[in-house]
Amino acid sequence: MSDGSQAQTMISSAIEVPSQPFEPPAEIGIASGLQFRVDERYEVEGNAEVVVKSHASATAVLRGSILDISATGCYIQSMARVPMNPGTEVGIIFSIYGTTFRVEALSRFAKTKVGIGFRFLEMDAATRVRLHGVLGDIRSKLIGEDPNAQVPVVERTVL
């Protein structure tokens, strides 16, 4: 092996290529108000119940209204005083357009007596299919007859 190719091999092996795309830590987006969503978020109306499991084996239940949803998360408005740090794991039961969902999620941001944003965790295939079906129906109603129409999506950047 020549000295040049040996040096190239040493340089190549020292460079690590990440296997996953970069996702900024939740704290960056939360603290700065930046949005890192890639999925369209649709305004909806529905009821939601959030179950927060605490470390003391007790649970807190928060009730509110789901105001918007995407394939990867939702925003729930609530007047509750449940303190919730970013990254808190919860169970959510919500109903939109006659369909009820049960999902696990992580809180991404919260403001007491205003609302909480959640990112859905992995869900079973049947739930994912139902959610995508409802989102597809919403999108179809929004664009109507024009498939090239701009879909109005929710931009919630300030709590």
For the chain, the domain total comes to 1
In this structure, is residue 28 part of a structural domain?
no
Tokens read off for 75: 């925003």
Output the pLDDT for position 156: 54
- SS3 readout for the chain: CCHHHHHHHHHHHHCCCCCCCCCCCHHHHHHHCCCCCCCCCEEEEEEEEEEEECCCCCEEEEEEEEEEECCCEEEEECCCCCCCCCCCEEEEEEEECCEEEEEEEEEEEEECCCEEEEEECCCCHHHHHHHHHHHHHHHHHHHCCCCCCCCCCCCCCCC
In this structure, is residue 104 part of a structural domain?
yes
- The answer to pTM > 0.75 is no
In this structure, is residue 96 part of a structural domain?
yes
Please tell me the distance from the alpha carbon of residue 53 to that of residue 92, in angstroms, as a whole number: 12
The 10s digit of each residue's pLDDT in 100-138 is 999 999 999 888 788 999 999 999 999 999 999 999 898
Would the pLDDT of 76 be above 80?
yes
Would the pLDDT of 18 be above 50?
no
Higher per-residue pLDDT: 59 or 124: 124
CATH code for the domain of 92:
2.40.10.220
Tokens read off for 114: 């205003």
In this structure, is residue 11 part of a structural domain?
no
